[in-house]
Amino acid sequence: MVLLFFSCQKEEYQFQKEIIGHEINKNLGDVHPSILQSDWWKQQPDFEKEILKIELASEDNQITFEELQKRFTQALRNAEKDGMRASVCPGYPSPNPEGHVDLCTQADVDAIGALGCKKISGRLRIFDTLGVDPICDLTPLHNITKIGSALNIQAGSCLTSLDGLDNIKSIGKSGPFGFVGVNGPALTDIEALANVKKITGSINIIGCDNLVSFTNAFENITSIDSSYVPSSSFVSQYVLNIDNNASLVDISGFRNLTNIDRILYIRNNASLQNIDDLSALSGNLLFLIVNNNGSLENLDGLSGLTTLSGSIFLFDNPLLQNVDGLSGVTSVALNVFLQNNPLLSDCCGLYNLVCNDPPACSTSGIGNIFFSDGCQEVDIIAGGPCL
């Protein structure tokens, strides 16, 4: 085991952040140039591109645009088998050869709602263009029960609630993407997603500045993994991404979540003081990334984690006082980074990781640990496990 101890000087800290970024990119992979150069990619909204970068990443290989097109074709076949015609709804005001529905104005929402559409074979994108007819009301969509691919909501300053999406029960069964993306500066209520029972892909709650809590949304989701995917040729990376939600305090909608196949991101949430609502989470992760959460004091909600097939990244959390919640982790395949958490002085939560055969405390076989905080290996071993 190699231990590298850094000072907190600006130049060195920047270097550490570059190491972390490289580590993530190296193990997730980059989006293939053929996709980035395609007209399909160029037509995606910026918010959706950020999610798609995660969905398209792979630690094994880069998915080419040709391969992606094959997966879109397979998704249409899956939709047909599931009784979801690619035509979406007869009379829908714009052509949708792949079964997608894009709603950019309130008139669009009202028009698709008037058709009584129950199933959408492709993607449902609610993308407010911030024009003269903003999207303020989703209740006309109350008949929709199933979305074959992704649900992407990028709301403007008028939409405060997702009421109208209450009857959606499954998202992403047809593929190739099954992500849920929710973004909107005025959103205060996303509880309408409480009835969703199946999601193939990632859940992304991003940039909802006025969202304080969600207690029922996602309560029926127990696993973010591949168990709902009808074939293995899918892209989704099975991620929970809670990012840049300035007022978010309560995420108890995730209280029944027991498994995330790949990545847990908790980043840039200024008001989130604890993550106890993730206490049911157990098993294996690829990456745990907890970054720049201004009020987060501990990781107690992660006490069920035992192994990581990738790395742990804990950096820029100014009030993080301990990592006791990681006491159950005994194996990390790659690296552990603890960077710029100035109040972190007690790291007994890493004892069972650093010392895998107490009291001898041999650290062979464990990945690298990078410290720039008050925790050092000798102190962790001397202090023993958390009481």
Q: Predicted confidence band at 271 (pLDDT cuts at 50, 70, 90)?
A: very high
Contact between 202 and 51 (Cβ < 8 Å): yes
Mean pLDDT of the chain: 84
Question: In this predicted model, what pLDDT tens digit does every residue of 175-205 receive, in sequence order?
Answer: 888 899 999 999 999 999 999 998 988 999 9
- To which residue do tokens 């029972």 refer? 197
pLDDT tens for residues 28-46?
668 889 999 999 999 888 8
Computed from CA positions of residues 205, 206, 208, 212, in that sequence, does the dihedral angle turn out positive or negative?
A: positive
Q: What is the pLDDT of residue 19?
A: 58
| DSSP-assigned states of every residue in 26-54 | HHH----HHHHTSHHHHTS-HHHHHHHHH
Measured between alpha carbons, how far is 237 from 62 in angstroms, rounded to an integer? 13
Q: For 83-113, write each residue's pLDDT tens digit.
A: 776 555 655 655 555 678 889 999 999 988 8
| Bigger pLDDT: 80 vs 127 | 127
Q: How far apart are CA 250 and CA 228, in angstroms?
A: 27
Nearest to 265 by CA among 301, 292, 239, 304: 239
Q: What percent of the chain has pLDDT over 90?
A: 44
State the Cα–Cα distance between residues 190 and 67, nearest whole angstrom: 34
Say what the pLDDT of residue 10 is: 43
Radius of gyration in angstroms for the set of CA atoms belonging to the chain, rounded to a whole number: 22
Element (DSSP H or E) covering residue 110: helix 106-114
Distances (CA, A) of 139 to 111, 122, 124, 227: 12, 20, 15, 31
- Report how far residue 198's alpha carbon sits from residue 169's, in angstroms, rounded to the nearest whole number: 7
The residue behind tokens 């009584």 is 116
Give the tens place of pLDDT for each residue, 209-226.
Answer: 999 999 999 999 998 887
The fraction of the chain above a pLDDT of 70, given in percent, is 83
At 236, is the pLDDT very low, low, confident or very high (cuts 50, 70, 90)?
confident
In this structure, which amino acid lies at residue 89?
C
Cα–Cα distance measured from residue 330 to residue 290, given in angstroms and rounded to the nearest whole number:
19
The token duo for 119 is 């199933």
How far apart CA 222 and CA 152 sit, in angstroms, is 21
